Amino acid sequence: MEGQQLQQVLNPHRLKSLQEWMQKSSITLTQVNGQRKYGGPPPGWQGPAPGPGCEVFISQIPCDVYEDRLIPLFQSIGTIYEFRLMMNFSGQNRGFAYAKYGDPVTASAAVMTLHHYRLPEGGSLTVRKSTEKRQLRLGDLPASTNQGELLTVLRMLSDGVEDVLLKMAGPKGREVVALVNYSSHYAASMAKKVLVQAFRKQYGISITVKWMSFSKSKHVAETGEDDCFTPPALNPLPKSSITPPHLHPQPLLHDVSAHPPVQPFFRAVGGPAGRRDETMPQAPVNHDAVSQLQWICELHRLGNPQYEVRFHRISSDGFLCFSFKVLVPGLLFPLCGVIQILPGTSIQAMKAEVYRAAADQVIQTMCKVLNLRPF
């Protein structure tokens, strides 16, 4: 019975029509986390990506209607920058899609022209401006969550993270929540699909992830699912809870001992503080960041930097994503961050590039905090 229902849903004639259209039009569709996407940008696109207000939300799509009918229909209004049809594992669409145009005027024209458009297959489409939500709410975070470390982790696990703000919420103001801003609705929706499982798998933490909505009452989201969130009264975390990682009493995702708030920022290694060898180390001839960091550490008697690098994933645009931790013996805390590099010709070349990128970030941090100049 289930096989007959699936065969009925996946109309072979409609699937054949889709394949023939793709071959004839040279259209490429990419399946990504439950979405089948065209463009973003499409071939021949010139200029920057469209800004806010350029996307429309399409719902009430019959389950056997695909891109061969939808894309030409919405392209009749104007050039489409991106089209995303939501799919499930059976191969049928989920009844809704997004079309992004080059400007808000064309998007508005699509709404006025195609809202309640009757399809030959039966039924009529609902078309309205997309809300393009870009902010996620992460709940049930540990009380020891650190804002800087959480930002690093989110950038390892998802693309497009711009910033993070920790807040106290809940009836008694005791729940730690994070408001995460993404660069686009697409980036936020992709993150929403993977973050719960990623936190549970990699860190053993069960969190909740919801869309952040600033409406005064709860409403149904574009997906037809009640996944929006009406924010309670939010209070900023106490300053002691959002201090830099080296002063935080219980780091969230690092298995390292907490450092007491000892001053000064760094301690001398190999001799009393303030004493320097009469022979100063010479600045490196090679301006490579690794050599430069080594020279800075020798100059300030901080010891030899030690690198710890971990590969995490390949981003949607082909970059290799790494996290790093550099331990400088003379500093009171390890310096951590995230790196993205393009694939190289060899493992050694990529390893060298990761070390250079890590050293460059560490140098920038040290120079900013210690008010140093590399040369």
The DSSP line for 122-177 is SSB-EEEE-----EEEEEEE-TT--HHHHHHHHHHHSS-EEEEEEEEESTTS-EEE
Asked whether 141 and 209 are in contact (CB, 8 A), the reply is: no
pLDDT tens series, the chain, 375 aa: 444 444 445 788 888 999 999 999 988 998 877 789 999 899 999 888 888 889 999 999 998 899 999 999 999 999 999 999 998 877 788 899 999 999 998 999 999 999 999 998 788 999 999 887 889 999 989 888 888 888 888 888 888 888 899 888 877 667 889 999 988 888 888 888 889 988 888 888 899 999 886 544 333 334 443 333 333 333 444 433 322 333 233 333 333 333 333 233 333 233 333 333 445 555 555 568 888 888 888 888 888 899 888 877 777 667 778 888 888 888 777 788 888 887 776 777 788 888 888 888 888 887 776 666 555
Q: At what angle do helices 185-203 and 147-157 cross, to 10 degrees?
A: 110
H helical segments located in the chain: 2-9, 12-25, 67-75, 104-114, 147-157, 185-203, 289-299, 347-370
Q: At what angle do helices 104-114 and 67-75 cross, to 10 degrees?
A: 120
**Distance between CA atoms of residues 97 and 329, nearest Å:** 53
pTM above 0.85, yes or no: no
